[in-house]
Amino acid sequence: MSNDGGARSEADEPTSFVLQPPNQQAPVPGNPYAAPVASPTHVVSAQSAQAPEGPGAGRLIAGRYRLLAKLGHGGMGTVWRAKDETVDREVAVKEPRVPAHLTERERVNSFERMRREARAAARLDHPSVVDVHDVAVVEDQPWIVMELVRGRSLGDALQEGTLSAREAARIGLEVLGALEAAHAAGILHRDVKPDNVLLGRYDRVVLTDFGIAQIEGETNLTDTGGFVGSPEYIAPERVLGQRPGPASDLWSLGVVLYAATEGVSPFRRSNTPATLQSVLNATPAPPASAQGPLAEAVNGLLDKDPARRPNAARVRALLEAAANPPATRPTQVVQATGRGGGGRGVRLGRKTWIGLGAAIVAAAVTAYLVIANPFAGPLPEGWKIKQEKDLAASLAVPAEYRRTVPDRESDQGHWVRYTDWSGSIWIGLALEKKAEDTGGQIAGSAAAEMYDDDTRFKESGSYELDMDEGPKKTDPSTTTYRDKKAARNTVPFKTDDSENPLPREVQIFYYRTPGGDMYKLTVSYPGAGDFTARGREVASAAIANLDIDKT
C-alpha cells in the first residue's frame, strides 16, 4: 500500500472485493482507520486532498503532522487524515478521546490503552496489521500515528451484500495471518469483527484496532465487572469470565466468516443480554452459502469448547482449500422451472457452474433447487390465491378455509389468518412495517429475526401460540426467496392446556424486504395423528406459493 499524499487518484486504484449483489455506489467508511475510495465519477485531486476540512483541521501535531479531515471516531478516540510534513505523506492520526466525566483512574486507563494499542501493533511485523509510525505526546496525551489505509471496512462492505465463499476464505486467510503474528508475539486481539477488518487497495486486508488487546505479562485494565469487545463476536469462554487464549480470537474469526457469507452474525439478538445468552447456548444453523472446507472451518471454529476448535494451522489449510478450489471445465446450461416463490422459475446459467466438477453437477442442481425454491410445484387442486392488499402480498390457501383479519379499531397490527373448518390447521401471514417500527424491534435480516424467535422458543416457548412453558427443540435454517435471503424454523410443542395438552407443530417462514418490512408466514397443525401429514403438506404449498409485492 502506498501513502503518496494523494498524488495519484484513488479512483485509479479500486479495491477488488466481490459482493453479492453488487452495488455501484461509493460507500461511506464506518471504520475510522479507512480512508474512502473515491467514486469513479468523483476523482479527488492532489490539491483538494490537502485542503483542511472541519473544526480542528489544519492543526499541527508534534511539529510535523498537519490534521486534514476527520475519518471517524470511536469509544477511544477520533481518527484524522493528516499530512506528515517531514516526509511528505498522508497518515492516520488517532486523537485521544476522553469524556470529561471520567474519574482520574479511568482517564489514566484510557491513555494507557492507547499506548498499549500502539505497542501491540508496533510489535507486529505483518502486512495484515496496520503499521504504527509514531506516538506523539501532546499535553501528556498519546496521539498514535499510523499508516493511512485507503479502502473501507468489511462491515461497510457487508451492508451492500455478502461475499462469495471463495472471497470470504481469502479475506479470512489474511485475518488469520494477522492473528497468528499477534499470538506468536503474546498478544490477543479480543475484538475481531467486520468493522475492524479493512479492505484496502491491491486486495490488501488489514486487521485494525488493537485498543483492547491483551499483551502477555501486562496488567488487565478492565475495571472489576467490566466487559470489553463486541458481544456477538465474543467467545463463550470470555462471556463466562474464563481466561481467554488464541482460540478465543479464532472463534471471533469464525463468526466473521459466517457473517461474511450469510450477512449476519448467528448470535445477534435484539439486546446485549440476549446476545450473550445466544453465544453461550445457541447452536447456529450451518451456513447455507458456505460449503465444503469453508463450512468445516466455520463450524469447527464455533465449537463452544475452545479445546475442540481447530488450531490455526488446520484453519489455514481449510481456508486455502476454499480460496483456491480445483479448476474444472464449465458445464452446460441447466434450466428448471416451477411455480414456487410467486410463480417465478429458476434458471441456472453457465457462470453458475464454472468451477463445479462433473461428478457433482447432478447433486448441485438438486441442492440449488431445494435452497432457492424448497417446495416448487403447481398450485394444489382446490386451492385459491388470495390477494391481501393491506399486506401487499398474495397467499395460496385451500378454497374452503375461513378468513380472519384484525379489528382495525383495536389497532392489532397487519395480519390475516385462514383456518380450516375443524380448526386443526391454520395459515397466518403477519407484516411488521419498517415505517411503524419506532422501537427498532425489526431485526436487520430474516435470519436475525428467526434467531431472535428461536431463542425464545428454546428458552421459554413464549410466542403467543398457546405453547406450553419450557424449552423447545427447534429446526432453524436459512433459505432464499426470489434469490434473496430468507429463513425458516419448525417448532414442535404442546398446547398450554393444563388438563389436556395437545401436540402441535408450527412452521414459520421469514422474509425481510429491501425496504426493511418483515413478513412472517406461519402454518400451525397437529403434531401427531392423521392431520400431521396434511398440515405439513399445507405448510409446503403455502410457503412455496407466497407472493410478496415488495421484493
Tens of pLDDT, residue by residue over 310-366, are 999 999 999 999 998 875 444 343 333 333 333 322 222 323 323 333 332 333 333
In this predicted structure, the answer to whether residue 225 has a pLDDT above a threshold of 60 is: no
* Of the listed ranges 188-197, 369-378, 380-389, 460-469, the one predicted with least confidence: 369-378
Whether 540 shows a pLDDT value over 60: the answer reads yes
- Contact present, 118 and 30 (Cβ < 8 Å): no
Residue 433 has pLDDT above 60, yes or no: yes
Give the residue from 105, 403, 441, 444 showing the smallest Cα distance to 264. Answer: 444
How far is C-alpha 93 from the geometric centre of its chain's CA atoms?
29
CATH node for 151-324: 1.10.510.10
Q: Residue 374 — pLDDT band, cuts 50, 70, 90?
A: very low
Judge whether residue 382 has pLDDT over 80. Answer: yes
pLDDT at 116: 65
What does pLDDT average to over the chain?
A: 75
Q: Are 269 and 452 in contact (CB under 8 A)?
A: yes
Strand arrangement, sheet containing 414-419: 402-404, 414-419, 426-432, 518-526, 503-512, 484-494, 477-481
Angle formed at CA 537 by CA 535 and CA 538, multiple of 5 degrees: 65
How far apart are alpha carbons 424 and 407 in whole angstroms?
Answer: 23
Looking from the CA of 51 toward its CB, the CA atoms found within 13 Å total 7
Grid cell locating 121? 501493533
Grid cell for residue 230: 463486541
Please say if the pLDDT value at position 182 is more than 90: no
**Residues with active-site annotation:** 191
Q: What is the pLDDT of residue 448?
A: 86
pLDDT of residue 136: 82
Domain limits, the chain: 55-148, 151-324, 377-548
Report residue 509's pLDDT band, with 50, 70 and 90 as the boundaries: very high
* Strands 65-73 and 187-188, bridge-based pairing: unpaired
Binding residues: 94
What is the reported pLDDT for 333?
37
Q: Which fold has domain 55-148?
A: Phosphorylase Kinase; domain 1 (3.30.200)
pLDDT at residue 228, as a whole number: 53
Higher-pLDDT residue of 495 and 523 is 523
Coil, strand or helix: which one is 536? Answer: helix
Residue 205 has pLDDT above 90, yes or no: yes
Q: Which residue has the cell 411488521?
A: 432
User: 377-548 adopts what CATH topology?
Assistant: Protein Transport Mog1p; Chain A (3.40.1000)
Q: Could you give the count of Cα atoms lying within 13 Å of 497 in the half-sphere of its Cβ?
A: 8
pLDDT for 186: 82
- Cα 443 to Cα 416: distance, rounded to the nearest angstrom: 22
User: Which residues sit in the known binding site for ATP?
Assistant: 94
Cα–Cα nearest to 189, from 162, 174, 209: 209
Exposure string of 487-509, with b = 16+ CB inside 10 Å and e = fewer, is bbbbbebbeeeeeeebebbbbbb
**Rounded-to-integer distance, Cα 447 and Cα 453, Å:** 10
Mean pLDDT of 425-453: 88
Strand 334-336 to strand 214-215: parallel, antiparallel, or no bridges (unpaired)?
unpaired
Determine the Cα–Cα distance for residues 371 and 435; give it in Å rounded to an integer.
30
Average pLDDT over every residue of 67-90: 84
Give the Cα separation of 355 and 298 in Å (integer). 22
